[in-house]
Chain A
Amino acid sequence: MVTSRIISGLCLIILLLLWQFAVMSGFLKPFQFPPPSRIGEAIVELAVSGFPNGERIWTHVGITLWRIIQGYVLAIGLAVPIGLLIGTIAVLDKLTLPIITFLRSVATLSLLPLVIIWFGTGELTKVLLIAYGCFWAMLSNVIAGVKYVDPVMIRAARTLDTRPLAMFVRVVIPAALPRMFAGARMALGVGFMVIVGAEMIGTIQGLGALIMEARTFYRSDITIVGMLFIGLLGFTITSGLSWLETILLPWSKGLSEVRR
């Protein structure tokens, strides 16, 4: 475990060194492939003087995080009760399946022009776009979690005189939780995919905006810094979510490891 980490760390360092060397020797153009040293300088620049218009990296990270949290919480908060309802009532599931399949296939960012017309270019538009993307990922997993509860569990519970309400609360929901957590992780991933597009308009704050602004100024180094921070942010939150899962669902430890 430790040795494999050392090896993967070494690989990364070698790759960065090769990259640096390739630019310095003129094999790669620094404008297209800013070398690691240039990216390091860009991070310092963003931390000290900021870009664009003196917006520092912490502002970008903070604003992006806040938008994702709002959209994400809104999406999860809606998807869980709606999903539980649809998953439980077979007729509802049949009726909504085509709509859900259609709407979740619509690329979230293709809605951007419409959402701007409806809600303008303010914060609401960005949060709603993130929420839209997260919602469908979560919803389908909540529905599947409820629908595909192991029938053996249901039968066993029936032989133990389990009444309908207890069946739902004490069998169906706990059985669906691992799937719901998987959905929550997927939804978060979607949220981070949508963020760059959602921040394309009407703002210079946020990591997505940073990347778009960097494009205007041909600052490929800053684009890469923006990507880096989005990746780090996503990685941190996803790890936090996995940690939360092992705390809340200690019994599914083995399961989630297999699934991943």
Chain B
Amino acid sequence: MADPARSDVAPSKIEICGVSKRYATDDPDTPLVLDNINLAIGDNEFVTLVGRSGCGKTTLLNIIGGLVESTHGDVKVNGRTVSGPGQGKGMVFQQHALFPWLTALQNVGFGCRNKGVHKAERDQIAHQLIELVGLHGFEDKYPAELSGGMQQRVAIARALATDPEILLMDEPFGALDELTRLEMQDELLRVWSAHKKTVVFVTHSISEALVLSDRVILLAARPGRIRREFPIPFPRPRKRTDPQMIALYDDIWKSLA
């Protein structure tokens, strides 16, 4: 329900209100996976969730994505409570999660096909996105024939194909080698500047978060909660060796300890 008194204030794209999570299989005595998370994410904002393993960052992302239900609290997108996956929320997973029986082009067109987009238009969209992620010439390759970095490029293109407002990324570059990872970070920023989206990006790499995002949300574990937020005011592209970046890195690192 929109508050008429606040109608002049630009509403947040994503609102996380008092979200807590305990898995049904968990021992009732163990701390909550997520404990009363409150967070507002603005339109076209790029937010990273950073924290140690077990801090619930992936669970939080899955709750925003509608793949996992919260125990308490809810998530609103455009003021409407999230009730399930899809519906304008694209996702990219740590494992590429591409359909191995479909070619790169068919994988990218999968979501459009669900929406009843005709083949010609679907293929056109998919071609454009494959071009955008730098995979021209690999349209007809199966996922097994692509390298890890290329698979993740296809996965990003697939998530963008239905033009969702929100892109949720769960450690998408976590399984890649260091060099490919750096390359993919630049690539993602390039794609993001071409298709402005609200991005929530989960990572355990502080430097990745610093290069990519407008805001770093640092989560603590047992119970999972927000420890601190760090706005990153530097313009992009950012240099990883910038002294201000290094200072912020140290700051975040100390907060983690």
Residues of A within 8 A of B (CB): 152-153, 155-163, 166, 170-171, 174-175, 177, 249-255
Closest residue on chain B to residue A251 by CB atoms: B142
CA distance A67 to B85 in the complex (A): 50
Known: A160-B111, A160-B162, A166-B114. A155 touches B97 (CB 8 A): yes
CB distance from A161 to the nearest CB of B (A): 4
B101 close to A251 (CB less than 8 A): yes
Chain B residues in 8 Å Cβ range of A174 = 99, 101
CA distance A191 to B236 in the complex (A): 66
Chain A residues in 8 Å Cβ range of B100 = 251-252, 255
Closest residue on chain B to residue A253 by CB atoms: B144
CA distance A154 to B17 in the complex (A): 28
CA distance A157 to B85 in the complex (A): 9
CB distance from A194 to the nearest CB of B (A): 32
Interface size on B, residues (CB 8 A): 28
A158 close to B67 (CB less than 8 A): yes
B115 close to A161 (CB less than 8 A): yes
For the complex, is B159 an interface residue (Cβ under 8 Å from A)?
A: yes
A152 close to B162 (CB less than 8 A): no
CB distance from A216 to the nearest CB of B (A): 52
B95 close to A171 (CB less than 8 A): no
- What is the number of contacts between chain A and chain B, taking CB atoms within 8 Å? 69
Chain A residues in 8 Å Cβ range of B97 = 152-153, 155-156
3 nearest A-B residue pairs (beta carbon): A161-B86, A160-B111, A156-B97
A159 close to B89 (CB less than 8 A): yes
For the complex, is B230 an interface residue (Cβ under 8 Å from A)?
A: no
A160 close to B93 (CB less than 8 A): no
Chain A residues in 8 Å Cβ range of B85 = 155, 158-159, 161
B91 close to A156 (CB less than 8 A): yes
B114 close to A162 (CB less than 8 A): yes
CA distance A163 to B159 in the complex (A): 17
B93 close to A155 (CB less than 8 A): yes
A161 close to B93 (CB less than 8 A): no
A160 close to B110 (CB less than 8 A): yes
For the complex, is B172 an interface residue (Cβ under 8 Å from A)?
A: no
A158 close to B99 (CB less than 8 A): no
B101 close to A160 (CB less than 8 A): no
CB distance from A48 to the nearest CB of B (A): 50
Which residue, B95, B97, B143, B158, has most C-beta atoms of chain A within 10 A?
Answer: B97
CB distance from B110 to the nearest CB of A (A): 6
